Structure 1
Amino acid sequence: MDRRVLFATLILLAGGATGVGVALFAFVGIDDGAADSEIVWETDPVDGDDGSGAVVATADGDPLVVQSTVEDGERVIRATAVGDDVEWRAPLSSVATGDASGGDDGSDDGSGNASDDEATDVSGLVSGTLDGDEVVAFTTESGTLVVLDAADGSTRFTADLDGPGGIRPAIGDLTDDGRAEVAAVTTDGNVRAVDADGDAAFETALGEPVDRRPLIADFEDDSDDGGTDDAEEANGTPRGLAVVTAGEEGTVRLIDGEGETRWTTTPSVTPLSWNAVDTRDGPILALGGSSGTLETIELADGSGRYDVGLQDRPVDVGDADAGRVYVGGVGSVWAVDLLDGEVVWKQQYGGETRVNAPGIGNVSGDAGPGPVAVNREGGVLALNANGEAIARGDAGEAVVYAGPLFADATGDETDEVLVVTDDGRVVALDG
């Protein structure tokens, strides 16, 4: 049962925050006027997917939910058309030889009879565009970067990472030349970026273990002479790859498009989640700590902007918009101002249930895009810019480890909230 609290205006002193003063924010309760979301589409469970690695990709303008599954003892990447059936399957054995051609084998549920332990492990998936083609990328535990065409699951290319993989890669334009690259890291600290053809863009070794996904992000040139290097002058905004290492003292570093380290810093939090976001004062990294603190780092030079204690338990950093980043914790969602760390509003729901990293979707044509949160028990809450609930629902009896995905499942030109459960079901709820 959702916790219902009265709307009140509170004064929050952000404990332990550096340079952050008193924040005035709205403490928002669940409103009985919120619409009840209904399940409009649901798939059968599949083996091998706990929901944390699924992604939405687009093929010919149509959304697909792409999952890593297990079928007959083998790892299989599977794409299901939103609101419809399985479009293609790519067995990892075929991917490894470059022979995967996708296609549906006629089986509706795609469930195998093997346990996850019998199949090769892979990372979470990421979708993006390479040379105008929508792709899906992942890394294998054995150390291969795999990029598939989203349209049919065929292998675009594979690349050896020279080390153990299993960490979600990143897709983005590292050099701002109009062509995206794919960047991947190994658990022992090797970094490799490849271009749209799979050719190496750069490689570097960090000498420290890595256990978090890398992020491709803009950064600003803060050189003393005010000049720019040739790549920046030719291509405009410089971009880099942010990487968290996990040595005795975890570090965050930014690697530029040439593979050189721009800066290294040691955050005060142990980051369990992070995101790269833009603000009016330049791009930053937002880190969600194991102790409940949100910390932000300037991408320009690695200096700290602020940190703010949200609760004394781990928090998950989600998406950002309109100068705010949305954060999930135990029983709460926060909207935090990206410039100064003030809590704009806090919404409680789900009692003591953990809330996954919030996403942003356009679930209501009237309210426009806004934050959506999913908790570990499958409860879904859509909010407006003021933190007021506009829709709520649940995915049935489920455990959910990931934030929401979004796609139009009904053809009404607004997003449905897609929840992928720990048994591999995909559930679409209307707004």
Structure 2
Amino acid sequence: MDRRVLFATLILFAGGAAGVGVATFAFVGLDDPTPDATVIWESDSADGDDGSGAATATVDGDTLVLQATLDDGERAVRAVEPGSGVVWTTPVTVGSAETNGTADGDTGPIDISALTTGSLGGDPVVALTTEPGTLVVLDAADGSERFAVDLGDTSGVAPAIGDPTDGTGDEPAAVVAAVTEAGSVIAVDAAGETVFETSVAGSVDRRPLVVNGDPDPDGRSDPVAGGIAVTTAGTDPGTVTLLDPAGDARWSVTPSVTATSWTAAATRRGPVLALGGTNGNLETLEAADGTARYEVGLQDLPVAVGGVDAGRVHVGGVGDVWAVDLLDGEVVWKQQYGGQTRVNAPGVGDVTGDGTPNVVTVNRGGDVLAMNRNGDGALRGGVPNVVYAGPLFADVSGDGVEEVIVVDEAGVVRVLDV
């Protein structure tokens, strides 16, 4: 038997023994009809950006990629329109010269968080926090500063933007929620005015999450309220706390896993928090009361929780990608590619144009794989550099189909298409 076929057979046998389906897309040497995607456009590099904190925003129907960068040696945010180039660059200033360095007195460029995009008052915005302790919100259209808020302590943790209410109101109540390392949680409205300020017990170094409420989960007419979730996960499990829109704690629990990544997701039985643990387990907590819905072992460690679609959460590991049912923790499928290279958090986008979202992954080696709902390969490609983040999406060609966007370790934005 050809040793490549033997290798594939052994892996398939191992996957079956573990009780999960294993797709065979990326075994080197196997015949594969999956279409190849190539780079159709790339930007200049962004000094000071390793690609891990980039985000997208839609402005007047066009997608912009927002990146943290350096401009004349100072920290800045730039907006790149894929297919065109840089449309604006805005320095990140935090007020006085004393606070224009890091918290320990260094006068070099300030450290900032990953970028978060969303909508405030109907306008697309990009938000970040600085290590000295300022929340900065910019208009995504032109980079102008919308407001800056003193957090009162060091931060550098990505903020969250969204509506933490139960979803029954006539108007959205979007807020920006930021945290400090000391455990303060500050939520501000579209004008930068404080909605609430509170604290949790412990250091916070993971981004908060806005949890959307569900007014009618599973048709039971017993609403599950939304809120803002904060975790103190560090070297041990820490706690997960859900705050209501006024900043009061709905519940606080100690999860089974120490979360390295997490996301909020809607299910027909109400919203959940999905936590990817350092031990390779995926745990979901009920937004209603913090109880565990399930915990499932995914073998690799740690695991990166990514995009959600059709009642499934998609998770990256070491050469592995999983689709896990959010209701019961069943591993719907498992895909293997890229050997022992770590897979970044998967994303979800319709990159094949058939109206069905694809699960798209990028590993640290720059290999790109899109999968259909069954976990079969739908598109593959790659970029030449190391990549630390999951994929982004935009219809760059204007054909109504999303292209895959990858930002590499040098801050180069590349667009891939078939």
Task: Give me the TM-score of the superposition, normalised by structure 2.
Answer: 0.88
**Is 1:35 paired with 2:35?**
yes
Question: CA 1:227–1:320 in structure 2 vs 1: closer, same or farther (change >3 Å)?
Answer: closer
Counterpart contact for 2:224–2:288, Cα < 8 Å = no
Equivalent residue of 2:21, what SS? strand
Which of 206, 210, 214 is 1:212 aligned to?
Answer: 206
Counterpart contact for 2:351–2:404, Cα < 8 Å = yes
- Between the aligned partners of 1:68 and 1:297, the Cα distance in structure 2 is 32
- Between the aligned partners of 2:229 and 2:254, the Cα distance in structure 1 is 13
Equivalent residue of 1:377, what SS? coil
Residue 311 of structure 2 corresponds to: 323
Listed as ranges, the gaps of 5+ residues in structure 1 are 15-22, 98-115, 229-235
* 40-49 or 241-250, larger mean C-alpha shift: 241-250
Equivalent residue of 2:33, what SS? coil
Counterpart contact for 1:10–1:27, Cα < 8 Å = no
Counterpart contact for 1:253–1:263, Cα < 8 Å = yes
- Between the aligned partners of 1:359 and 1:151, the Cα distance in structure 2 is 24
Residue 99 of structure 2 corresponds to: none
Question: CA 1:157–1:85 in structure 2 vs 1: closer, same or farther (change >3 Å)?
Answer: same
Shift in Å, 1:257: 0.4
Shift in Å, 1:219: 4.3
Shift in Å, 1:173: 1.1
Shift in Å, 1:367: 5.9
Residue 386 of structure 2 corresponds to: 399
Shift in Å, 1:160: 1.1
Partner deviation per Cα, 1:115-160 (whole Å, 9 max, x = no partner) = x993111100011111111111001111111110011000111111
Residue 58 of structure 1 corresponds to: 58
- Between the aligned partners of 2:75 and 2:346, the Cα distance in structure 1 is 29
- Between the aligned partners of 1:67 and 1:186, the Cα distance in structure 2 is 22
Partner amino acid, structure 1, of 2:140 = A
Shift in Å, 1:307: 0.8
Question: CA 1:11–1:373 in structure 2 vs 1: closer, same or farther (change >3 Å)?
Answer: closer
Equivalent residue of 1:387, what SS? coil
Equivalent residue of 1:118, what SS? coil
Question: CA 1:314–1:344 in structure 2 vs 1: closer, same or farther (change >3 Å)?
Answer: same
Partner amino acid, structure 2, of 1:430 = D
Question: CA 1:237–1:265 in structure 2 vs 1: closer, same or farther (change >3 Å)?
Answer: closer
Residue 411 of structure 1 corresponds to: 398
Which of 4, 8, 23 is 1:5 aligned to?
Answer: 8
Correspondence 1:74-113 to 2 at 5 A: 74-93=74-93, 96=95
Partner deviation per Cα, 1:293-350 (whole Å, 9 max, x = no partner) = 1111111100001111111421100011111111000001011111111111110000
Counterpart contact for 1:96–1:158, Cα < 8 Å = no
Question: CA 1:367–1:195 in structure 2 vs 1: closer, same or farther (change >3 Å)?
Answer: closer
Question: CA 1:12–1:300 in structure 2 vs 1: closer, same or farther (change >3 Å)?
Answer: farther
Partner amino acid, structure 2, of 1:149 = D
Question: CA 1:52–1:252 in structure 2 vs 1: closer, same or farther (change >3 Å)?
Answer: same
Percent identity over paired residues: 56
Equivalent residue of 1:246, what SS? coil
Correspondence 1:42-53 to 2 at 5 A: 42-53=42-53
Which of 268, 282, 287 is 1:280 aligned to?
Answer: 268
Partner amino acid, structure 2, of 1:347 = Q
Counterpart contact for 1:219–1:300, Cα < 8 Å = no
Shift in Å, 1:60: 1.5
Residue 293 of structure 1 corresponds to: 281
**Is 1:149 paired with 2:139?**
yes
Question: CA 1:36–1:133 in structure 2 vs 1: closer, same or farther (change >3 Å)?
Answer: same
- Between the aligned partners of 1:227 and 1:409, the Cα distance in structure 2 is 42
Aligned residues: 392
Listed as ranges, the gaps of 5+ residues in structure 2 are 97-105
Correspondence 1:158-307 to 2 at 5 A: 158-175=148-165, 176=167, 177=169, 178-219=172-213, 238-246=225-233, 249-307=237-295
> Whose RCO is larger (CA < 8 A, sep 6+)?
1
- Between the aligned partners of 1:411 and 1:89, the Cα distance in structure 2 is 25
Shift in Å, 1:24: 5.5
Equivalent residue of 1:5, what SS? helix
**Is 1:360 paired with 2:348?**
yes
Question: CA 1:267–1:137 in structure 2 vs 1: closer, same or farther (change >3 Å)?
Answer: same
Shift in Å, 1:404: 0.4
4+ residue runs over 6 A deviation:
none
Task: Give me the TM-score of the superposition, normalised by structure 1.
Answer: 0.86
